[in-house]
Each structure stands twice: as structure tokens, then as C-alpha cells.
């Protein structure tokens, strides 16, 4: 069957002498693998420039549900990260690592796809905000349907990371954010990030707690090894 869909390139690796294996998060079919013969020779319809991570592409391909790797017959690039400086490149690397761990094979999620295509990826082409990574992490959780529930929030509440709720309970919980991080997460969820102070220690701890949240709710092996570069950017 001939399929046509928009997609977001998640990962591309070299296969053999000149071919590529590319994972593309498609709007209609979820995450699919593609074998692209000769991509690194840049002589066919599909060139390696088409397959850079986070490119938004339109593809035509032969879709066979039982095959692990599909074959692209035509591709065009609609949007790509235009990385102006080190800050953009740093966040780009982190977002690539994040998406490679959370997007699952054959999982269709229209709202997540639209968020990535319309907001997250275009946002990488603009000046990077100090709190942009925690904001994106919480947005992705929202589109997965497992972001923290804000209904129980009150002053000095703690975020129970395991159950995804805010609580004033004094019970000892195993996975809990402290009051400043809990308040920051609540404010990002309700008011955005433009008003937040540039507090590097607070941002670092917020990201660490969100990584744990991802481990508990999406992927138990989740981590962001490239997050350390944030200490060098968006100061």
C-alpha cells in the first residue's frame, strides 16, 4: 500500500557503506523505521540532508504493516531546526535525546505530533528561554496524558512525583519535589515561563525531578545525559 504522511525525523544512523536507517515519527502511523539505500551518497531521491533529526518532512512510502523497515519513494523537507548559536544547538541535542526515549513504536498520538510540529520544533529556531526545557518536558507529559494534576495545589504543597498530584500531607513519600520546585512546576503548568526568575540551581533541580517523573510515568530507563550542557547555556 502506498502511504503519504507528514513526519518528524527522530534518529538516523548509517547502515553499511552508504545506506541509512531512519526512525520517523509519522502523523498517521506513529514511529516507523525506514531503510534508505545510498542515502549517504546523496544521489537518490532521499538524501542525508532530509534525514537530520527533528526535520519535519512529507513522505511517500510503500507501507507494509508486517515489515520492520519501510521504503521511502519520495520526501520533502517542510521545516528544519535552524540552529543559530550554541544555545540552540545545546537544546536541540537535549530534545533529540528526549524524544528518542519517549516516542514509542507504532504509537499514534495526534496531539503530541501537532505540538512537536507546530510549537516545539519551531521554538528551537528562536532565542532560547532559560526555562524552555522544563516547559517542553511538561508539555510532552501533557500530550501523553500524564502531567501533574494541579487541582490539589495550595501554598507550600509538595509534588508527589509517583502519583502526579500536589499535596500538603506531611506523610513521608519516597518521590517528592521540595516546595520551590513544586511551586515552579505548578507555575509553569498554569502561567508559563516568562515570569520565572533565572535561578540556575532551581532550574537544575526542576529538570532532575522531571527526569524522575519521566522514569516513573513513561520510561523507567529515561535519562538526559546531555543535560549537563545547560550549565553552559541560556545564562
Q: What is the average per-residue pLDDT within 67-86? A: 90
Checking if the pLDDT of 171 tops 70, the result is no
Q: What is the average per-residue pLDDT within 81-94? A: 89
| 57 SS3 class | strand
**Distance between CA 55 and CA 43 in Å, rounded?**
19
Look at the block and give the residue holding cell 502511504: 3
Checking if the pLDDT of 232 tops 80, the result is no
- Domain 86-232, CATH: 1.20.1440.120
Residue 116 is given by DSSP the state I
Tell me whether strands 69-79 and 30-36 are parallel, antiparallel or unpaired: parallel
Q: What is the pLDDT of residue 231?
A: 67
Checking if the pLDDT of 235 tops 70, the result is no
Q: Which CATH class is domain 2-79?
A: mainly beta
| 46 SS3 class | coil
| Residue ranges covered by each domain of the chain | 2-79, 86-232
Q: Do domains 2-79 and 86-232 have the same CATH topology?
A: no
Amino acid at each position: 500500500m502506498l502511504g503519504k504522511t507528514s513526519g518528524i525525523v527522530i534518529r538516523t544512523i548509517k547502515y553499511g557503506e552508504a545506506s541509512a536507517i531512519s526512525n520517523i515519527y509519522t502523523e498517521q502511523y506513529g514511529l516507523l523505521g525506514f531503510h534508505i539505500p545510498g542515502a549517504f551518497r546523496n544521489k537518490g531521491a532521499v538524501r542525508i540532508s532530509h534525514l537530520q533529526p527533528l526535520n519535519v518532512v512529507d513522505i511517500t512510502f510503500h507501507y507494509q504493516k508486517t515489515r520492520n523497515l519501510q521504503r521511502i519513494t519520495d520526501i520533502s523537507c517542510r521545516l528544519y531546526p535552524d540552529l543559530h548559536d550554541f544555545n540552540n544547538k545545546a537544546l536541540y541535542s537535549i530534545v533529540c535525546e528526549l524524544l528518542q526515549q519517549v516516542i514509542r513504536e507504532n504509537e499514534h498520538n495526534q496531539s503530541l505530533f501537532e505540538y512537536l510540529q507546530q510549537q516545539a520544533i519551531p521554538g528551537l529556531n528562536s532565542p532560547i528561554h532559560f526555562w524552555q526545557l522544563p516547559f517542553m518536558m511538561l508539555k510532552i507529559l501533557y500530550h501523553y496524558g500524564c502531567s501533574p494534576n494541579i487541582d490539589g495545589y495550595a501554598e507550600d504543597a509538595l509534588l508527589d512525583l509517583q502519583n502526579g498530584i500536589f499535596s500538603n500531607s506531611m506523610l513521608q513519600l519516597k518521590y517528592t519535589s521540595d516546595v520551590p520546585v513544586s511551586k515552579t512546576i505548578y507555575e509553569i503548568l498554569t502561567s508559563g515561563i516568562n515570569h520565572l526568575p533565572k535561578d540556575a540551581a532551581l532550574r537544575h533541580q526542576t529538570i532532575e525531578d522531571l527526569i524522575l517523573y519521566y522514569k516513573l510515568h513513561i520510561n523507567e530507563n529515561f535519562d538526559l545525559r546531555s543535560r549537563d550542557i545547560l550549565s553552559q547555556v541560556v545564562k
